[in-house]
Amino acid sequence: MCGRFTLRTPASNLAGWFLRASLDLNFPQLRPRFNIAPTQLIACVRRVPSQGSELEVAQLQWGLVPPWSKDGKSAYSMINARSETAHEKPSFRSPFRSRRCLIVADGFYEWVREGKVKRPFYITMADDQPFCMAGIWERWTAEEKVVESVAVLTTTANGLMAKIHDRMPVIIPPNEFHRWLEADIPPAKKNDPESDQRAAAATATLQELLRPFPEEAMAAREVSTYVNSARNESPECIAELLD
Which amino acids are annotated catalytic? 2, 110
- Contact 4/29 with Cβ under 8 angstroms? no
Contacts within 8 Å (CB) and 24+ apart, 171-174: 171/131, 171/132, 171/133, 171/134, 171/213, 172/102, 172/132, 172/133, 172/134, 172/209, 173/213, 174/20, 174/21, 174/132
**Buried-state track 93-106, b at ≥16 Cβ within 10 A, e below 16:** eebbbebbbbbbbb
CA torsion 201→52→17→78, rounded to 10°? -70
Instruction: Give the angle subtended at the CA of 234 by the CAs of 228 and 239, to the nearest 5°.
Output: 70
Which residues on neighbouring strands pair with residue 62, listed in sequence order?
Answer: 150
Task: Give dist(CA 60, CA 106) in Å, integer.
Answer: 17
